[in-house]
Homo-oligomer: A and B are copies of this chain.
């Protein structure tokens, strides 16, 4: 199978959510056009994205909502559950834990680590915060699939290394810096500072873009 672009995967994720809504509305079929409309993209994009994985629609009719939803669910690997290790029990970490939405989608936070001794031992949701030093010991084979880094920026690379050593195959990073991990480990970064700065740029441009220097 050809390499699938990150943008296609992101859109699949969106289609999946739209299909949930559409199903809740009681619709049985949906066309690429309607699906695209709800995402603010073109119908060709929808059809192209789906075509990388197979032919799920019927000409003249569109896509069966439930069927397409299940196909995308399988494509995204959401038929199984993923064990998540959270590192950093600060604001972001606590917010992630408190939000039960991920659990519903198959992502179970099964352990929380922090370096701050004031936090270690405290209860956070159903879990007790463990000392980060205990990560290697806790990481028995396959204990964690995904690691979430919600630490201050200075600790991020070190934690990433520790998570890789602990055998995670994917990392979600909330620290605003580039992390280096082996190729076999998937890495995604959510950089909120960058999003704010991107907005700042857009708003600055809107008023009157800077002149380009010679």
Would B38 and A169 count as touching, CB distance under 8 A? Answer: no
Asked whether, in the complex, the Cβ of A203 is within 8 Å of the Cβ of B102, the reply is no
Q: Is the CB of B1 within 8 A of A203?
A: no
Name the residue on B nearest A102 (C-beta).
Answer: B196
Is residue A140 contacting chain B, with contact meaning CB distance below 8 A?
A: no
Is the pair B105, A14 in contact by a Cβ cutoff of 8 Å?
no
Interface band, chain A: 35 or more
Please tell me if A94 contacts chain B, counting CB pairs below 8 Å: yes
Contact of A194 among B14, B95, B146, B205 (CB under 8 A): B14
Known: A1-B210, A209-B1, A212-B54. A199 touches B170 (CB 8 A): yes
Q: Are A193 and B13 in contact (CB under 8 A)?
A: yes
Alpha-carbon distance A194/B3, docked complex (angstroms): 19
Kindly list the 9 A-B residue pairs having the minimum CB-CB distance in the complex, ordered from nearest.
A77-B204, A54-B213, A186-B202, A91-B95, A95-B95, A170-B199, A77-B200, A13-B194, A91-B98
Q: List 14 A-B contacts (CB under 8 A).
A: A1-B211, A17-B176, A39-B178, A55-B213, A55-B214, A77-B200, A78-B197, A96-B192, A145-B203, A146-B199, A146-B203, A169-B203, A186-B199, A190-B195
